[in-house]
Amino acid sequence: MKTRTSLVVVLIAVMALVTIGWTQSSRKMEADKWKYMSYQASSTGPTDQEMNKLGWEGWELVAVDAGENRATRYIFKRKL
């Protein structure tokens, strides 16, 4: 009887740990939400000072679009 009670307690503890672990991992799987910004630059592009300011504000450069016959666009994102 004592062995059976111990087994039940262990099973309940394992189920609780699995449930807690699953709940925490499902929260981590939520997608991050982003805000995007397009910066159209002159022929020289953004200055170091402008890039540093954007970085301090949390913006991250993710793409550069240097299309034909138009100014270069720099695409930034940051978490909401």
Residues 21 and 52 both lie in one domain = no
pLDDT in tens, 66-77: 877 777 888 899
Residues 18 and 41 both lie in one domain = no
Query: What phi and psi, each to the nearest 5 degrees, are found at residue 73?
Result: -110, 135
pLDDT in tens, 35-53: 999 888 766 777 889 889 9
Q: Whole-model pTM?
A: 0.57
b/e 37-55 (16+ beta carbons within 10 angstroms → b): eebeeeeeebeeeebeebe
Residues 25 and 45 both lie in one domain = no
What pLDDT does residue 34 have?
93
The domain of 64 spans: 34-79
